[in-house]
Copies of this chain bind each other. A is one copy, B any other.
Amino acid sequence: MTESDLPVVQLTPGRWGDPDHSVDLPAAALEALKHLGVNRPAGRRDEELVAPEGGLAGGAREMLEKVLGSEQVKTDLETRWAHTRGYSTPDLLRHRAGDTTDMPVAVVYPGSHDEVQALLIACSEQHVAVVPYAGGTSVVGGLAPQGIEFVAVDLRRLNRLVRIDEISRTATLEAGVRGTAAEALLAEHGYTLGHFPQSYEGASIGGYAATRSSGQSSAGYGRFDQMVVGLTVATPRGTIELGRAPMSAAGPDLRQLFLGSEGTLGIITSVVLRVRPRPAERSFEGWKFASFDDGLAAIRGLAQDGPLPTVLRLSDEAETAVNLADPDVLGGSTGGVLAIVGFEGARTAVRRAEVADVLTAAGGESLGEGPGETWRQGRYRAPYLRDPLLDEGALVETLETAGFWSTLPALKAKVTEALVAALSEQGTPPLVLCHVSHVYETGASLYFTVISAQTDDPVAQWRQAKAAANRAIAAAGGTITHHHAVGTDHRAGYEREIGAIAVETLQAVKRVLDPHGILNPGILIPNS
């Protein structure tokens, strides 16, 4: 398979995804927005772009061109704009407003680990800040070191399947390989990674690793960090290679220091991943429970006593009701809450029957494959819906957390309450939807979707709501993020979560690996 055959969607900021897949809002959704007081802004349009002052200094350009060749150093406005921020709602709103703060002064395209390594050493010597850019799909401000001139290091040329070890079932993939391309490359050998986050059409291997991504099939395939057995990282001090064995007792697991490091400690250039045979069978089912609490008890039973399906998620009453607005989803069934239960693998029939027994005993009612297939086919659709919702004048954003099972009901209630209060205070009472998206033996994640009318300053409006949600998460004992990472948006919460001494520890690690502080400055690790 040649590079051009790979199924890669090149995203550009401002609107999500493949333009051919853009969606119109259903009539029922438009009707629902009226109840939230949403009004389509008259004549709002994308602002014209004005280049910010400053730019790449002459000495820096010379250095970059020397290391990578002049054709791999771009400073045109269009390229830089296409590497500005990610895909949070505030990012989209700022993009629509033509806000060119956070724009890189240049975009560079190294083609190999060695080039990334040489680049970091040269940039460190000249104190040039760099932000690694793979899929560009951050929703937490992970690409925007505020107020600092920086060069975006686009890793799209690191796009190879380097090695596949079929006996050990591992594959070495470069950091710039998109999720879709990874699946295509592995499929040629009969394997799958099984990692399908909602950002699947845009995100990349390096980003998955650097942000501890988690996909929709995590119950069956695990989180991305659980798939990683080895890492190669370029740092301003040199290259680090980790992972001689699946597991080791040789000291701290340093792979876990770079997973989730968000480009602040080095640039991950390739990852050795556990792969699995492509599933022979696949089926998705809908199940209905009388209440979220009933559904929660049922999926906890599966998470703790098994058997685990490959996909397991549970919508709350509000999210189920919104799904019901689409008459296809529940086949006419009304009320209660919807769980999606998916199976992939070989000989899934026994596991399906066992899961059905557990769910039935827990009060579940099977809705058959209809709702499951509807969910599967629409699994990457939600981010596409956001653009027309923003067009209509709605504020729509998501956030997530995780906690132990015993804390989840209070965590859900407190976060919902905080969001409702913070947006109602601003005159825009929201609809707050929630689902459990990932389950573990000891707990689960909660994924919230928030929809309200926009105020005149929707960026500030959301900032206030998000801050309230973050405070509620901390107070209720949840983690500030289960799979979106820290970026700049969660930095304060992260600092509170790990405490001052742990922050100092990370700062010390950073000082060793990145002595001049050129790597994603201001992201994740508070400045020392």
Complex alpha-carbon distance, A214 and B441, angstroms: 19
What is the CB-to-nearest-CB distance from A105 to chain B, in angstroms, rounded to a whole number? Answer: 27
User: A474 to chain B: closest CB distance in Å?
Assistant: 9
A245 surroundings in chain B (CB, below 8 A): 401-404, 443, 445, 478-479, 482
Contact of A170 among B438, B442, B479, B502 (CB under 8 A): B442
**Smallest CB gap from A511: residue in B:** B508
Contact A246 B440 (CB under 8 A): yes
For the complex, what is the distance from the CA of A247 to the CA of B440, rounded to whole Å? 8
**Interface size grouping (class) on chain A:** 35 or more
Q: Flag if B168 contacts A404 (CB, 8 Å).
A: yes
Contact indicator A478/B244 (Cβ below 8 Å)? yes
Known: A170-B404, A441-B169. A259 touches B248 (CB 8 A): no
Is A165 in contact with B252, judged by CB distance below 8 angstroms?
no
Question: For window 399-441 of chain A, which residues contact chain B by CB distance below 8 Å?
Answer: 401-407, 438, 440-441
Docked-complex contact A248 and B481, CB < 8 angstroms: yes
- Point out the residues of chain B lying under 8 angstroms from A2, CB to CB: none
Cβ A214 vs Cβ B249 within 8 A? yes
A239 to B498, CA, bound (A): 11
Residue of B nearest to A224 (CB): B249
Within 8 Å of chain B (Cβ to Cβ): is A240?
Answer: yes
B residues near A482, Cβ cutoff 8 Å: 245, 247-249
- What is the bound-complex CA distance between A249 and B242, given in angstroms? 20
Q: Is the CB of A247 within 8 A of B274?
A: no
**A62 in contact (CB, < 8 A):** no
Contact residues, A236-256 vs B (CB, 8 A): 237-242, 244-254, 256
Do residues B254 and A505 form an inter-chain contact, with CB atoms below 8 A?
yes
Interface residues of A in 256-280 (CB under 8 A from B): 256-262, 265, 274, 276-277
Residues of B within 8 A of A168 (CB): 404-407, 442-443
Rounded to whole Å, the gap between the CB of A261 and the closest CB of chain B is 6
Choose from B248, B304, B441 the contact partner of A212 (Cβ within 8 Å): B248
Are B244 and A497 within 8 A (Cβ)?
yes
Q: Contact between B254 and A498 (Cβ–Cβ < 8 Å)?
A: yes
Interface centre among A240, A350, A442, A480, by most B CB within 10 Å?
A442
Closest B residue to A265 by beta carbon equals B252
**Minimum C-beta distance from A220 to chain B (A):** 12
Tell me the bound Cα distance from A310 to B479 in angstroms. 31
Across-interface contacts of A490 in B (CB, < 8 A)? 250
- Chain B residues with Cβ under 8 A from A480's Cβ? 248, 250
Q: Can you report 29 residue pairs joining A to B where beta carbons are below 8 Å apart? A: A165-B406, A167-B404, A168-B404, A168-B407, A168-B442, A169-B405, A214-B249, A225-B247, A244-B402, A244-B477, A244-B497, A245-B478, A245-B479, A246-B402, A246-B440, A246-B442, A248-B480, A249-B483, A249-B484, A250-B486, A250-B493, A251-B486, A251-B525, A252-B256, A253-B259, A256-B257, A257-B257, A305-B346, A505-B509
A-to-B contact residues, CB < 8 Å? 165, 167-170, 211-214, 223, 225, 229, 235, 237-242, 244-254, 256-262, 265, 274, 276-277, 300, 304-305, 346, 350, 401-407, 438, 440-445, 477-486, 490, 493-494, 497-499, 501-502, 504-506, 508-509, 511-513, 524-525
